[in-house]
């Protein structure tokens, strides 16, 4: 089964509303959880995603574990890339070869962009999100976003986005250069400030791209072992998984809402893609909304 034809745009690029997050391809979430995966399995998942209609992949140079790096897996699996494929990445956080984290200065962002270019084997990046450190949520991002905008002007980057931001930071970024997407943690139970940001993005024509839409409070570790009864009831009514319910609810939050669920499992990939065709009733949507 391939996904529905519902689309949105990232600048002048049009994508299907369910994409693919590459964080789990290496078997280790970006902040260090889960077991190792094999190269052949990861490549099979990427190729199957494209066959199922995925045309938007989210990745980062800091998604690596052991001998596996998400960007290199994407290149090995999909290059030469289909013309319709949009690859989004993110900068500001970085990891050295030992896995130690650091946060880039504005002057170091070019090196991070070039790392992504090398890993993916591309001469430009479709979308680059400036991922804001948790410690700076609410602070100024002007210096870093200006440096990223200069890389866009130089032709290394086609479109810019922001990630882990507040509404005020989004507005600040837009005063510097066009913003095509906001990538924040969002899903069932999201706080009011994130629901408001989602609404404002719709008003401004900006794609809202939630991460952890399935994992929820489990974040990098994945979905919790137990699930809320309201989610389970809706899943039973449709004969689908709770993860599919969470994705369908997320997409129903607005036509500008995209989803980038990640997995290293072919069966889960098929379920995630099929969630685009799951139609929740108004009553079901309201019952799930009440979880917030």
Alpha-carbon 55 to chain mean position: 13
Q: Which tokens in the block code for residue 33?
A: 């959880």
Q: Which tokens in the block code for residue 152?
A: 């866009």
Q: How many CB atoms lie within 10 A of CB 124?
A: 15
Distance CA 234, CA 276 (A): 15
Task: Single out the catalytic residue among 62, 63, 81, 249.
Answer: 63
| Known catalytic membership, residue 81 | no
DSSP H helices in the chain: 39-51, 70-78, 109-120, 142-153, 167-174, 192-204, 229-238, 242-251, 266-274, 282-289
Q: Dihedral, CA atoms, 159, 248, 167, 189, nearest 10 degrees?
A: -150
Write out the catalytic residue numbers: 63
């Amino acid at each position: 089964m391939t996904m529905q034809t519902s689309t949105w745009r990232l600048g002048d690029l049009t994508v299907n509303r369910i994409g693919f997050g590459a964080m789990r391809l290496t078997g280790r979430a970006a902040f260090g959880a889960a077991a190792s995966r094999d190269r052949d399995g990861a490549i099979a998942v990427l190729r199957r995603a494209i066959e199922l209609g995925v045309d938007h992949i989210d990745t980062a140079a800091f998604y690596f574990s052991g001998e596996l790096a998400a960007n290199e897996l994407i290149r090995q699996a999909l290059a030469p890339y289909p013309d319709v494929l949009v690859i989004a990445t993110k900068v500001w956080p970085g990891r050295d070869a030992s896995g130690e984290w650091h946060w880039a200065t504005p002057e170091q962002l070019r090196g991070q962009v070039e790392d992504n270019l090398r890993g993916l084997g591309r001469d430009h990046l479709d979308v680059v999100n400036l991922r804001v450190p948790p410690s700076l949520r609410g602070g100024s991002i002007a210096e870093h976003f200006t440096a990223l905008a200069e890389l866009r002007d130089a032709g290394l980057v086609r479109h810019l986005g922001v990630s882990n931001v507040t509404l005020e930071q989004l507005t600040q970024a837009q005063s510097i250069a066009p913003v095509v997407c906001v990538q924040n943690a969002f899903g069932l139970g999201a706080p009011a400030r994130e629901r408001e940001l989602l609404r404002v993005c719709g008003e401004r024509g900006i794609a809202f791209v939630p991460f952890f839409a399935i994992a929820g409070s489990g974040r990098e570790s994945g979905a919790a072992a137990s699930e809320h009864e309201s989610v389970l009831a809706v899943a039973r009514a449709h004969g689908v998984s709770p993860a599919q319910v969470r994705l369908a609810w997320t997409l129903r939050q607005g036509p500008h809402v995209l989803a980038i669920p990640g997995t290293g499992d072919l069966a889960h990939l098929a379920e995630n893609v099929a969630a685009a065709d799951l139609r929740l009733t108004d009553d079901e949507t309201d019952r799930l909304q009440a979880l917030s």
